[in-house]
A = this chain, B = another copy of it.
Amino acid sequence: MKYCSHCASELTYIIPDGDNRPRFVCPACQAIFYQNPRIVAGTLPVHNGQILLCRRAIEPRRGFWTLPAGFMENGESTEQAALRETWEEAQAVVQLQSLFSMITVPHIDQVHIFFLAELEKAEFAAGDESLEVALFNEEDIPWNELAFPTVSQTLKRYFADSSAQQAAHVFDIGISQALAKGLKSSG
């Protein structure tokens, strides 16, 4: 971030009046450019006890398995974002049931939100960003080929405590956990 997107002047990086941390500020038009975390929204789709996973066709983590999820867009709700991503990546129509996990990944400035969802019919297909999409029994989950710690943690908590499925799991991914899984490259 070097130039003002309103007037093209060169930006300064200073603490604005009344603030307590440095921001990109335009000395010409006084615009302040805040930088905030982004939301990744997705689903944990369940069909007769099996989980729907997508194998990624794009970087980061191409070839690894993930729950359908992606960046929330302006103008949509978290639920709409989760449903849209499930359609785009897995060509699946699901019914949202409840918020399952909300996980901050602070070192890449992301918050990942997964809704528990029911996939009524076993109808799905690989979208543009997926190599393949498949249903997995618990014993067949490819734990060593999962794309991101937020996905593995969400799946782990789902299988660990099925009685807690209606309560939200709110937690953070530490940098050590993330580096071990290569999440840093997703930032």
Contact = CB atoms under 8 A, between A and B. Distances in A.
A18 B73 contact: no
Size category of the A interface is 35 or more
Interface of A: 1-8, 11, 18, 21, 33-39, 71-80, 98-99, 102, 104, 106-107, 109, 111, 113, 115, 128, 166-168, 170, 172
A78 B107 contact: no
Q: How many copies of this protein are present in the complex?
A: 2
A137 B76 CA distance: 35
B39 A37 contact: yes
A11 B5 CA distance: 9
A36 B71 contact: yes
A172 B77 contact: yes
Kindly name the residue among A38, A72, A74, A107 whose own CB sees the greatest number of chain B CB atoms within 10 A.
A74
